[in-house]
Structure 1
Amino acid sequence: MLRENTPSDAKVNFGFIILISSVAALGGFLFGYDSGCINGAIDALQVAFNASNLGSGFNVASMLLGCAVGAFMAGGLADKFGRRPTLFVSAILFGISAFGSGIAGGSLVFIMFRLIGGFAVGAASIISPAYISEIAPAAYRGRLSSLQQLAIVLGLFLAFLSNYLIAAAAGGASETFWLGYEAWRWMFWVELIPVALFGLGLFLIPESPRYLVAVGRKEEAQVILGKISHPDDAANKVASIQKTVSSERKPKLSDIFKDGTKKLHPIVWVGLAIAALQQLVGINVVFYYGAVLWKTAGFSEADALKINVIGGIINVVSTVVAIALVDKWGRKPLLLTGSAGMAIFLGVLAVIFGTANVDAAGDLQLSGSAGTVALICANCYIIMFGISWGPVMWVMLGEMFPNRIRGAALAVAGLSQWITNFAVTMTFPILLASIGLGGAYGLYAGFALISFFIVKAIVRETKGRTLEDMQAD
């Protein structure tokens, strides 16, 4: 059932909602920064640690194993201890990872700290959008939940910009920078600034009212809901939430199965599919390996890092557009538009890279026009992702599951997303060495096309529906 906005929807304390949503979204910012800061450090790490291509790939992808564990455990931890305490732990782990990655003297220590950071990223990737969806009124939930993706792409952009500025000041990522430490180490240490802001900001936000109702703290939930919307509405909202929360037992992983069977709920399959497809279109190859990718295509390190910055700006602008459209157009139309656009532009890139000449060093030699077309198509691909799958996948994961299975469903959907991310990230160096950029982009184009038909067939629109409406699914 779709609900029209009620009069009480217009009485929300929008300033307070923006504040707490923005603080929660800082978890997404750190997710983006942590993912992007390694982009400019890959070659320097390979030299510093004397790593092979496979080892270099694992230096990048190792964090994603931690992400998978963090995402899988986050739902259960948040259901047991609360959303806010779980985000506090994530902030601490972000700090440990950022500092430790910068002091690492070898691959083993580096990977250990990246795994710790991955746990924080995975947890934040699940809890931040879930928290926002639980405090946001239905009429604004899509745009507010999209703050998570906006924060992610801002984090990516600032990581790319920081990498570029640090490398430019030092004369290269492997060169000595401040206090006698290499530039690549500072690329990780800069993250400590937003980590501190996130930790301090968490003192300003309340616990999720839906979590409080689930654990029997209805009076506290009513107070918070009174601050978010109108005090006269708070009691009714608590009662509405109470109807959809299982009070007989705590949420558990078996919730994702149909009663008395070992079959997953259909809505969980949808969540698994969209979580995996967001990665199978290859977007994080651009974000993690952007410098390597463009150097392979014949650009210098400085130019490759500059292209990353341009792509980061485009990604931010695209996400802002998505925030403006997600509650007007709806989630499904944006996903379909993005899938079609990505398939087209990835296909063109596959042709350009697949037909380019290769020099003696194995680098592609693009003609002037081919290089220009490749840059345009790559940025159009980022635009298509930025207005669709980037923010919309997180919006849908935060709102598509009914309350009775939300924690468990988020855990397995997050696990799907991060395992797929790991697989794509780990295999890119192998694909690059075997079938080249053309073949790799052709593969990602194929998945973009598949995503169009899967969304058309199984994804249901969630625009305008309250989280309580999802209970009927």
Structure 2
Amino acid sequence: MTSTTARRKSNTFYVILIAGAAALGGFLFGFDTAVINGAVVAISKAFNISSWVTGLAVSLALLGSAVGAFFAGQIADRYGRIKAMVVASGLFTLSAIGSGLAFGIWDFIFWRLLGGIAIGVASVIAPAYIAECSPTHLRGRLGSLQQLAIVVGIFIALLSDYFIAVSAGSAEKPFLFGIAAWRWMFWTAVPPAVLYGMAALTIPESPRYLVAQGREPEAANVLTKILGGNVLEKIEEIRQTVMREREPKFSDLLRRSGGLLPIVWIGIGLSVLQQFVGINVIFYYSSVLWRAVGFSEKDSLTITVITGAVNIMTTLIAIAFVDKFGRKPLLILGSIGMTLTLGTMATVFGTAPVDAAGNPTLTGSAGMAALFAANLYVFCFGFSWGPVTWVLLGEMFNNKIRAAALSVAASMQWVANFVVSTTFPPILQYFGLGSAYGLYTIAAAISFFFVLFFIKETKGIELEDM
């Protein structure tokens, strides 16, 4: 092995290490959004609250995420990417402890809101940091680490909920030290939250942030570890594209004639469509679906865990192919697959007979068709819109506007998530499951044309040339 090859291998290993540490924020983002799944019923009984307050307890964290995402860019540009990660770690830790200790529903909502802000910050910082620290030929795969971390976080949260609920007999029953099982579900987030802060303190600051701050010798050190060889030319490139005279402002996102820059609108469209195809309905409300097919509560939880595992497998597929095939082909394939599978679910649910409670009753082949289509849908989302959206958001904006534009796009993603999550129960109640999935089918079909006409391929292009 030549010394150049050895150096390149050690550089690649170093980049994977620092990108993995940043992606821990994604793990907590997935864990924190999914961990409430197993606790919802127990919380509503423990605090004796109505269904709409329960809905608020679940979805207000998403609005907190929108707030966190919106301000994350400013924090990252002013204080650096690393300090923003440490702040997110502290908020995650406080939220996990507080949610488990909650005395009533309103302080519980406060702690969840705090966790939501942390999720929002992490959802912006990780993709920006990973894109800024990755060599061009690895950027797609490393950017996909964010989505991999999110889906692993969701999976581990569902798994720990399942383990705690089964060990205690139910989420409402006492678990360790006689404390209710649902409280332990939130406390399981404390160790990874602390680890995230510790990992953030061991990785270098983004070279692009360092150049923007006039700290070029430090930037040269980091780039040497990432790229190897002579990095002076790279620093000059970054210096050309980063405006050092002033901090980036949200006004940078506006055109002279008024209104947002077209690229910012494309980022918002990408974010909103990722949510409007209804992926989180599968994860937040999957028990409705599986119970309708005739599964018990325990089996519904098991299937949800299996769906989480499918999500991980497909994200690994995306990581393998995103730098070979490119971003656009994967999105187009995903849009076609989601339109067909969601259309199948809409048809099956829309034509199924309903029971006295108004739930569709699926028997025989119809039940299996829904089950198969739902998992195939997760597969299609998992190799395309799940990870590729984060890869594109990390790299489609130029250096001058990246942090600010990512903040706007990510905060709109959380608002879209909030809209989908809060409208699903009333759509289900008044129009039925078929109509709900019909709407998501339309969004999936729109996503196909959106990619076709508006998304430019970013594979192999330097961030400085965006």
TM-score, normalization by structure 1: 0.95
Alignment partner of 1:117: what SS?
Answer: helix
Matches within 5 A, 1:213-252: 213-230=211-228, 232-252=229-249
- Aligned AA (1:255): D
**In the alignment, which residue of structure 2 is the partner of 1:168?**
166
Alpha-carbon offset, residue 295 of structure 1 = 3.2
Q: Take 2:126 and 2:134, find their aligned partners in 1: how far apart are those partners?
A: 12
Alpha-carbon offset, residue 437 of structure 1 = 1.5
Identify the range of structure 1 (275-284 vs 429-438) with the bigger mean alpha-carbon deviation: 429-438
Maintained 8 Å contact 1:44/1:173? yes
Give CA deviations for 1:270-321 in whole Å, capped at 9, x if unaligned.
Answer: 0010010000001011122223443355422111110110001000000000
**In the alignment, which residue of structure 1 is the partner of 2:202?**
204
Matches within 5 A, 1:337-352: 337-352=333-348
Maintained 8 Å contact 2:86/2:201? no
Percent identity for Structure 1 against Structure 2: 55
- Aligned AA (2:454): I
**In the alignment, which residue of structure 2 is the partner of 1:84?**
82
Maintained 8 Å contact 1:42/1:56? yes
Q: Take 1:12 and 1:216, find their aligned partners in 2: how far apart are those partners?
A: 28
- Aligned AA (1:150): L
**In the alignment, which residue of structure 1 is the partner of 2:263?**
267
Alignment partner of 1:100: what SS?
Answer: helix
Alpha-carbon offset, residue 108 of structure 1 = 1.1
**In the alignment, which residue of structure 2 is the partner of 1:117?**
115
Alpha carbons of structure 1 residues 49 and 297: separation in structure 2 relative to 1, 3 Å: farther
Q: Take 1:43 and 1:330, find their aligned partners in 2: how far apart are those partners?
A: 43
**In the alignment, which residue of structure 2 is the partner of 1:61?**
59
TM-score, normalization by structure 2: 0.96
Residues 1:389 and 2:364 are matched in the alignment: no
Maintained 8 Å contact 1:54/1:429? no
Alignment partner of 1:206: what SS?
Answer: coil
2:296 is matched with which residue: 275, 295, 300?
300
Alpha carbons of structure 1 residues 9 and 371: separation in structure 2 relative to 1, 3 Å: farther
**In the alignment, which residue of structure 1 is the partner of 2:142?**
144
Alpha-carbon offset, residue 366 of structure 1 = 1.4
Give CA deviations for 1:91-131 in whole Å, capped at 9, x if unaligned.
Answer: 01001111111122322111111110000000100100110
Alpha-carbon offset, residue 11 of structure 1 = 7.2
**In the alignment, which residue of structure 2 is the partner of 1:455?**
451
Give CA deviations for 1:398-440 in whole Å, capped at 9, x if unaligned.
Answer: 0000111112211111121111111111111111211122111
Maintained 8 Å contact 1:12/1:229? no
Q: Take 1:8 and 1:262, find their aligned partners in 2: how far apart are those partners?
A: 51
Alpha carbons of structure 1 residues 110 and 267: separation in structure 2 relative to 1, 3 Å: same
**In the alignment, which residue of structure 2 is the partner of 1:312?**
308
Alpha-carbon offset, residue 361 of structure 1 = 3.5
Q: Take 1:292 and 1:174, find their aligned partners in 2: how far apart are those partners?
A: 20
**In the alignment, which residue of structure 2 is the partner of 1:96?**
94
- Aligned AA (1:84): I
Alpha-carbon offset, residue 52 of structure 1 = 2.5
Q: Take 1:370 and 1:432, find their aligned partners in 2: how far apart are those partners?
A: 19
Q: Take 2:103 and 2:343, find their aligned partners in 1: how far apart are those partners?
A: 41
Q: Take 1:237 and 1:54, find their aligned partners in 2: how far apart are those partners?
A: 54
Give CA deviations for 1:76-102 in whole Å, capped at 9, x if unaligned.
Answer: 110000000000000010011111111
Alignment partner of 2:231: what SS?
Answer: helix
Identify the range of structure 1 (362-371 vs 27-36) with the bigger mean alpha-carbon deviation: 362-371
What's the Cα RMSD here? 1.6
Alpha-carbon offset, residue 46 of structure 1 = 2.3
Alpha carbons of structure 1 residues 424 and 386: separation in structure 2 relative to 1, 3 Å: same
1:336 is matched with which residue: 321, 328, 332?
332
Question: Which runs of 5 or more residues in structure 1 are unaligned?
Answer: 1-6
Q: Take 1:105 and 1:293, find their aligned partners in 2: how far apart are those partners?
A: 32
Q: Take 1:52 and 1:354, find their aligned partners in 2: how far apart are those partners?
A: 29
Give CA deviations for 1:212-247 in whole Å, capped at 9, x if unaligned.
Answer: 0011111110011111121x3221211111010012
Q: Take 1:348 and 1:332, find their aligned partners in 2: how far apart are those partners?
A: 25
- Aligned AA (1:75): G
Maintained 8 Å contact 1:39/1:290? no
Q: Take 1:354 and 1:110, find their aligned partners in 2: how far apart are those partners?
A: 37
**In the alignment, which residue of structure 2 is the partner of 1:399?**
395
Alignment partner of 1:249: what SS?
Answer: coil
**In the alignment, which residue of structure 2 is the partner of 1:47?**
45
Aligned residues: 462
1:325 is matched with which residue: 317, 321, 333?
321
- Aligned AA (2:423): T
Maintained 8 Å contact 2:424/2:436? yes
Q: Take 1:21 and 1:60, find their aligned partners in 2: how far apart are those partners?
A: 30
Q: Take 1:299 and 1:179, find their aligned partners in 2: how far apart are those partners?
A: 32
2:103 is matched with which residue: 99, 102, 105?
105
Residues 1:367 and 2:366 are matched in the alignment: no
Question: Which runs of 5 or more residues in structure 2 are unaligned?
Answer: none
Q: Take 1:292 and 1:187, find their aligned partners in 2: how far apart are those partners?
A: 21
Residues 1:432 and 2:428 are matched in the alignment: yes
Q: Take 1:189 and 1:244, find their aligned partners in 2: how far apart are those partners?
A: 44
Alignment partner of 1:357: what SS?
Answer: coil
Maintained 8 Å contact 1:65/1:419? yes
Maintained 8 Å contact 2:136/2:461? yes
Alpha-carbon offset, residue 369 of structure 1 = 2.1
Alignment partner of 2:401: what SS?
Answer: helix
- Aligned AA (2:252): D
Give CA deviations for 1:328-374 in whole Å, capped at 9, x if unaligned.
Answer: 11111111111111111111111112222322334332103222221
**In the alignment, which residue of structure 2 is the partner of 1:3?**
none
**In the alignment, which residue of structure 1 is the partner of 2:157?**
159
